[in-house]
Chain A
Amino acid sequence: MAAIFTVAKQRAGDFPVRIIHGFCLQCTRKMMSNPTPRNSPASAFSPWHRLFRSVLDRLTVGLSISGVVMMLGILLLIFAVLLNGAWMAIGQIGWKFFTTATWNPVPGMDQYGVLSFAYGTAVTTIIALLLAVPLSIGCAVFITRIAPQWLAGPVSFLVELLAAIPSVVYGLWGAFVMSPWLQTHIELWMWKATRNIRLIPIGYYPGHRREYFPANLVHGGPSGSDYLAGGLILTIMILPIITAITRDVLQQFPEELEQGAYGLGATWWQTTRLALTYCRVGIFGAAVLGMARAIGETMAVVMVIGNTDRVSSSLFAGGQTMAGVFVNEFLEADHPIYLSAMMYVALTLLISALLTNIAARVLLNRISTV
C-alpha cells in the first residue's frame, strides 16, 4: 500500500528529467528538428540511433499511459456492467435491499436483501483484522528486530509462502480440519467460559429472551461453521501480506533514530515502540491491504461460514458474506430478478470496497501528519 500511495502522491510534473549528452529527453522533438544545435558538442550517437532512442522513449511512455487508461477503463466498465445488470433490482427493490436480511430467491417469493451478507462480510473482516494485525506486527518485529540473520530469512520466506496457497485449499483445510477442531475445542471452551456472563444488556426482541454481552457472542453453542471460523480462515489468509509489508516498512526505520533512542537509555521495547510509531503509516497501509483482501475473499470463507441469510450477534452463528453468495448461487440464478439482485449485491460489494478504501486514505492522511 505504501508503494501505491507513494506513486499516487507524485504529481505528473515530478518525474525525473534525464539528461544525456546535454539533451533533455523530454525535448526530443526539438532535438529531432534541429539535430546538432550550434555551440554544443556533437552527440555521440548517429542521427538514426537518436531517432531510434526517441521512438523507443515515446513507445514506452505511450505504453504506460495506455496501461493506466486501460485500468481505469476496466474499472468503469465493471461498474457500468454491474449497474446495468442490477438496474432491474434497483428499480424493484430500491433501498429496502439494504435493510432486509432475508434472501429468498424462490420464484414468486423473490425476497432479496443484502443486509445479512454485508453483516457477514463486516464481521469476518473485523475478526480477521483484529487477530491478524497484532500477529503480523509481532511477526514482522521478530523478523526485523529479534531473529538472528540465519533465522530471519527462512521465517520471512515461510510467511510469504502462506500467500501462495490457493484459497480453495485453505477452505478445504478449514472445513475438514479447522472447523471440527474449532467446534470441539476453542468454541466449546469459549462457550463454557462465557455463556453465563451477562454484563451489558444489548437488545430485546419481543418473544425472545433479553440478550446480554458477552454471553450473546456464544449464543447457540459451538457449531464450527460460523462467523468465527470465517474470520479465522481470513486471519490466516491476510497474515502474510500484512507481515510482509510491515516487515518492509520496519526495515526502513532509520539507524540514526534507533541509535538516538538507545543513546538516551531506551530499552529494546521502547525503541521498538518508537520504530512502530515511526512506521505507523506503512503499517496502517498494510492493514488496509489486508482488509481489502478479506472483504473480497470468497472460496475459503464460503467453505466454513455456514451459508445462511441471518444476522446474529453471536460469533457462533452461521452467516454468509457478499462475496460468498455468488460462488454459492451464481449457477442457480435462473430468473431475471434473481440474477439482477445478485448484480445488486456485487455493486454493493464494489461500492463498499471503494468507500472503505477512501475512508482508509482519509485516515491515513490524518495519521501521517506528525
Chain B
Amino acid sequence: MILADTSTNAPQQKAHATATQGTPVAVTTAETTGRQAVEVRNLEVFYGQHKAVHNVSLSVKHQEVTAFIGPSGCGKSTILRCFNRMNDLVRHCRVQGSVKIHGADIYARGTDVMELRKRTGMVFQKPNPFPKSIHENVAYPLRIHGVRGKAVIAEKVEKSLRLAGLWEEVKDRLHASALSLSGGQQQRLCIARAIAVDPDVLLMDEPCSALDPIATKTIESLINELSKSITIVIVTHNMHQAVRVAHQTAFFYMGNLVEAGPTDKMFHNPEQHQTLAYVTGQFG
C-alpha cells in the first residue's frame, strides 16, 4: 500500500479532493450495514511509465450490482481487471495498493491466482465462447478446476445454463457448436461458463457493447436475476444501462474515481459537478 501520489496529478487531485483524499468512498450508503465483497485501497496502476489509475479507493457491496461508468480510457476496465488479476498478463503493468475480496488481499504474496479467477468470474466485451460444443464450453471451467464425473458435470452445466437463461433455447442441441449461437446467446453462454464454478463475484467488462438492443435487454434482466446470489461489477459505456441494472454506480474520469454512490443519487443528485456533467451528457 502506498500513499496518495499528490505531486504528479495535482490538478485532478484538487478538482475532486473529496474523492481522492485517501478515505475510501463507500459505494454503499452505509458501509456498516452489509458485507463488502471487494475493497480497494489506494489502488494505482501503471502501464510502463504511464499511470492509468490514480489512487482509487472504493468498496463494492456484497450481492449488489455496481456499475463503473466513465469515458473511454478513464481506467474503469483496468480497475475491473485488477479484481481478478488479469492485469498480470499485461506486460509492463504494475499494480500498487491493495484489493481485498471478502477480506483477503489478492495481491498478497502466495495468492492462488487461478483460484482467485475461479471465484471472480469474468465476462468480456466480445462474446468469446471456445470453439467447442455448448456443453463443453460450460464444462470447461469445471474440468480445469478438477470436477470429474459425467453426471456431476452434466448437472452443473444444466444449472448454469438455466441460471443464464439459456437452457430452454439450447437443451436440444447441447452438443452443437457454440459458434452456431447468436451473439446474445453466445454472451449468455459466456456468463453460464463464468458462473459454472459458483464465483462470489462476477466481473463484466462492457458485456453488451457488441449486442443488439433485444439481446442487451435479455442480458440486463439476467444481471438483475444473478445479483440475488452473486456480486456483480459491470463496466459500461451506456449510462442508461447503469441506471437500469446497477444499485451502485462509480464514475471515473482520467484514472480517478470522481464519485461513487447509489445509482439514483449519482444520476439525479450527484455531489460533483463533473459527475453531473457526464451523466447529463455534457461531455464524454
Contact = CB atoms under 8 A, between A and B. Distances in A.
Interface stretch (A227-235, A254-262, A330-338): A254-262
A370 B178 CA distance: 9
Nearest to B137: A260
Contact of A263 (B84, B115, B126, B145): B84
A325 to B, nearest CB: 45
A263 B197 contact: no
Interface residues of A, number: 16
Given A256-B126, A265-B197, A370 B133 contact: yes
Given A260-B190, A370-B132, A370-B177, A266 B114 contact: yes
Q: How large is the interface on B (under 10, 10 to 19, 20 to 34, 35 or more residues)?
A: 20 to 34
A260 B124 contact: yes
B177 A264 contact: no
A264 B179 CA distance: 19
A257 B118 contact: no
A265 B144 contact: yes
Contacts of B114: 265-267
Nearest to B89: A262
A235 to B, nearest CB: 31
A259 B126 CA distance: 11
A270 B133 CA distance: 18
Contact of B115 (A265, A274, A278): A265
Nearest to A255: B128
Contacts of B145: 265
B128 A257 contact: yes
A256 B190 CA distance: 12
Contacts of A265: 113-118, 141, 144-145, 197
A45 to B, nearest CB: 41
A55 B116 CA distance: 64
A349 to B, nearest CB: 37
Contacts of A264: 117-118, 121-122, 140-141, 144, 193-194, 197
B179 A370 contact: yes
Contacts of A256: 124, 126, 128
Which of B86, B133, B140, B179 is packed against the most chain A CB atoms within 10 Å? B140
B248 to A, nearest CB: 23
6 contacts: A256-B128, A259-B89, A260-B128, A263-B117, A265-B116, A370-B177
Please list the 3 inter-chain residue pairs (A to B) with the smallest Cβ-Cβ separation, ordered nearest first: A265-B117, A263-B122, A265-B118
Interface of A: 254, 256-257, 259-267, 270, 274, 278, 370
Interface of B: 84, 86, 89, 113-118, 121-122, 124, 126, 128, 130-133, 140-141, 144-145, 177, 179, 190, 193-194, 197
Given A259-B128, A264-B144, A265-B145, 16 more contacts: A254-B128, A256-B126, A260-B128, A260-B190, A261-B140, A262-B117, A263-B86, A263-B121, A264-B194, A265-B113, A265-B115, A265-B117, A265-B141, A265-B144, A266-B114, A370-B132
